[in-house]
Each structure stands twice: as structure tokens, then as C-alpha cells.
Chain A
Amino acid sequence: MSSLVMIIVGCALINNVVLNQFLGICSFLGVSKQMKASASLGAAVIFVLTIASAVASLLYDFVLKPLDLDYMKTIVFILVIAALVQIVEMFLKKTSPALYKALGIYLPLITTNCAVLGVALTNVQDEYNFIESVFAGFGTAVGYTIAIILLAGVRARIDESAIPKPLRGAPVVLLSAALMSIAFMGFGGLS
């Protein structure tokens, strides 16, 4: 049990997916402009990443490995993730219109979010079993959500301050991310 807690803490804080591993940077920089959108995207990522880790892990253990198709994992994972996102989207549309409205437009974007494929591949690399993969996926997504919500908060403040002209736009956001990344390095002491 404690090892599972450690996986979540490790994935969410110590090896934060965005600030330490640089996965999902594009949406991190693009969507963090608005707090509400960031929170919705974070929720959608938690949803998809947990399911995708579970499916990818099952597929790897019971299909790819027994058949010796290890080298096919990149193709298989990306297709499964794309299909999965579609299914989740249709399922939500049918069963929970409210949730679909909140997460809907973010779901298709998650397919191209490298964090999803990244986690599926890291799980295989670290030889996590099914349960561990699900926890790692969930932890990573929580880390992503923490990072994007924090950055959205910082950006709300940035918008109101006088930034030197060359630093406006992308540079100041990257600088904020750099400071957050330094702060998150402090979590390294937890491991």
C-alpha cells in the first residue's frame, strides 16, 4: 500500500510531468491563460490518463508481451489512446451531458497531449503491473492538474503587472514555469 502512495506522490510532485519531464507542455502553456479552462482540462486529463494507463497496461501485459510484439507498442498505444478518447467522448455525451459540456472540447485535444502516451510508455519501461500503472497514471494527471492550475493563477497576476515589452507573451510564462520548476525541485527531498 505504501508503495502505491509513493507512486502517486512520486508522479504528482517529485517527477512532475510538466515541470520535470516536460510532457504536455503545449497545453500547459496554451490553456493556462484561463483558470476555468485549466481546471476543466486538468479534470479531463485525470479522467483520460487514468483510463488510458489501465487499458495500455492490460494491452501490453496480455497482448503485446505474449505475442512478442514489444516493438509495436508506440503504434498500438497511440491508436488505442485516440480510440479511447473518442469512446469516452461518445459515452459522456450519451450518459452525462453536464460532464460532457464541462470536459467536451478538451477531450479531443488530449489525444495529442504527449503526457498520455508518455505515461503509457514509462509504465512499461518501469515494469509497473496493472494496479501500479493505474496509480501512476492517476498521480501523473494530478501532477499535471496541480501545475496547470498553479500557472493559471500566476498568469492571472501577470496580466495585471507591467512586464518589460520583450518579455511579454511566451517568455514571461516560461519564466514563471521556470520558477515553479525550481520550487518543485524541493519535492526531490521526499523520495
Chain B
Amino acid sequence: MNRYLERLYNGLVKENPTFVLMLGMCPTLAVSTAAINGIGMGISTTAVLILSNVIISALRKVIPDEVRLPSYIVIVATLVTITELLIEAYLPALYDALGIYIPLIVVNCIILGRAEAYANKNPVGLAAFDGIGMGIGFTAALTAVGLIREFLGAGTAFGFQIIPKSVEPIGIFIKAPGAFLVLAFLIAVLNAAGVKNRGEQLVSGCDGCCAACSKRDCGKEEAE
């Protein structure tokens, strides 16, 4: 059982996808204008991540090594399309808020990264827990960024007015630059607290994004 708990801890703290691995930056910055959007995006991504981890882990002996990346992409894209249709049908407000970033879960490196780094080498149960841990870590990070931006930029938290309306909120925080600012200071605070992030290791020449999933390919290309 401990190995399963260890997976959860790993995803939430030790290898937090946003603050430590620095993966999946695009949705983190784009949809974190409000805490509730962060939760919505986090849960959608978590659902896709758990299912893709389980399916890829179950098929790990079936999928030939040479075509594994295209196979993973098809699996993930299918799951994302299902998720998108479900959100469109049952949560139209969230669908409008997240917009194009729902289909873009396909290219969220956390998902392909976990498939390549963990799911295709480990049994189904552990892979599922890895997905849950990473998903919770991602959701927590997105919600934190969203909450800070919403609080500073609109004076609300989860839609409830916290700062009185008479006080003008700092509008820039819910605009594009605010996303960079908040994330920069959050990572700086974690740095000061001694949490090492992998940002420095983002390999030049090898897309930092999918350093986790396409490392092998990159190495090959560079060797040629």
C-alpha cells in the first residue's frame, strides 16, 4: 500500500508537475484567471491523465516500441475528445471559460510525460495512482495560482467578494502579464524555501516541455 501512497506524495509534493517539473505551463498560465477555472482545468486534466495512464499501462506489452508515441497521442486525443464533449454537454459555463485550452490538453506535456516516464514501465494500479497524484498536484497548483490572481485582480475568491467593492482591484493580475508575475513569485518563494525546480535543466535544443517524453528522440537527433 505504501507504494501507492508514495505515488500520491510524489505527484503532489516531490515532483509537483507545475512547481518542480515545470510541465504543462500553457494551461497553468492561461486558465488561472479565477480559482474555479483552475479547478475545472485541473480536474479535466486529472481525468484524462488517470485514464491515459491506466490504458497505456495496460497496453504496455502490446504497443511496439517504435510506434509508441503516435499510439499514446491517439489514446490521449480520444480521451480528451470525450472529456471535451462531456464538459460541453454538462458544464457549458466551464466550457466557455476554458475554450480552446480543453482540446489542448492533448499536448499537455504532463500527460505524455507521465506515459513515457512512468505508465509504460509500471503495472496498472501504480500507474493509476501516479495519475491521481500528478493530477492532484497539477490541480492544486492551478487552483493556487488562480486563487491568487482572482484575489488580487478581482477582489474575489471562488466568486465570493472578499475585498470590498469600493477598493479598486489590481486589474493586471487577471490579464496576461499577471499570470507570469504570480507564477514567477510563487516559484521564487518555493526557491527561497529550498524546493528545487527543474527549470534550470530545461534542455536547450531539446524542448523543455517534453524533455520527459521525447528525451530519447532528442538524444538520437543530436547524436547524428
Contacts and interface: CB of A to CB of B under 8 A. Distances in A.
Task: Give the secondary structure class of A's interface.
Answer: helix
Contacts of B211: 30
Interface string A84-108: 0000000000000000000011101
Contacts of B100: 118, 121-122, 125
A37 B200 CA distance: 16
A117 B103 contact: yes
Contact-residue bracket for chain A: 35 or more
Contacts of A24: 26
B77 A74 contact: yes
A166 B78 contact: no
Contact-residue bracket for chain B: 35 or more
B25 A78 contact: no
A169 B107 contact: no
A33 B106 CA distance: 26
Given A112-B207, A118-B100, A125-B100, A171 B214 contact: no
B199 A29 contact: yes
Contacts of B207: 26-27, 30-31, 109, 112-113
A23 interface: yes
Contact of B204 (A19, A26, A31, A82): A31
A51 interface: no
Interface in B167-209: 172, 175-181, 183-185, 187-189, 191-192, 197, 199-200, 202-209
Interface of A: 19-27, 29-31, 33-34, 37, 71-75, 78-79, 82, 104-106, 108-109, 112-114, 117-118, 121-122, 125, 165-175, 177-179, 181-182, 185
